[in-house]
């Protein structure tokens, strides 16, 4: 599920609510067990893929491009990142990756 929901895959569509709910449940499960290195690594890899997609070179055509934000299910990626940030391990992971500092450079 973490690979399927990865931003570079661009699999979310505008009306993929069921898929988004399934991903949300998987993320909640992983966050609950994030003390285990296996789940922590999955969350970290997802955050790293999002971080990469937010780079200057990827923004014009990547998963977070203006076109994708309007015509695809790209907002679901932000929902998953928001879910991660609501948990202490997820927030630590996002801070470690540097995703919150991406726009400030």
Q: What is the pLDDT of residue 102?
A: 67
- Average pLDDT per consecutive 10 residues, the chain (105 residues; last block may be shorter): 79 75 93 93 93 89 85 85 94 92 63
Specify the pLDDT at position 46: 92
Residue 103: the pLDDT is 61
pLDDT score recorded for residue 36: 93
Structure tokens at 36: 């285990």
Please check whether residue 39 is in contact with residue 30, taking contact to mean a CB–CB distance below 8 angstroms. Answer: yes
| 51 contact partners, CB below 8 Å, separation of at least 6 | 97, 98, 99, 102
Q: With H, G, I as helix, E, B as strand and everything else as coil, classify residue 23.
A: helix
pLDDT attached to residue 82: 94
Supply the pLDDT for residue 38: 94
């Amino acid at each position: 599920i973490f690979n399927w929901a990865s931003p570079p895959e661009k699999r979310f569509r505008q009306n993929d609510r069921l898929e988004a709910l399934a991903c949300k449940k998987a993320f909640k499960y992983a966050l609950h067990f994030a003390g285990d290195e296996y789940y922590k690594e999955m969350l970290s890899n997802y955050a790293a893929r999002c971080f990469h997609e937010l780079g200057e070179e990827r923004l014009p055509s990547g998963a977070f491009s203006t076109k994708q934000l309007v015509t695809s299910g790209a907002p679901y990626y932000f929902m998953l990142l928001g879910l991660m940030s609501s948990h202490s391990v997820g927030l630590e992971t996002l801070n470690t990756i540097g995703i919150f500092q991406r726009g400030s450079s």
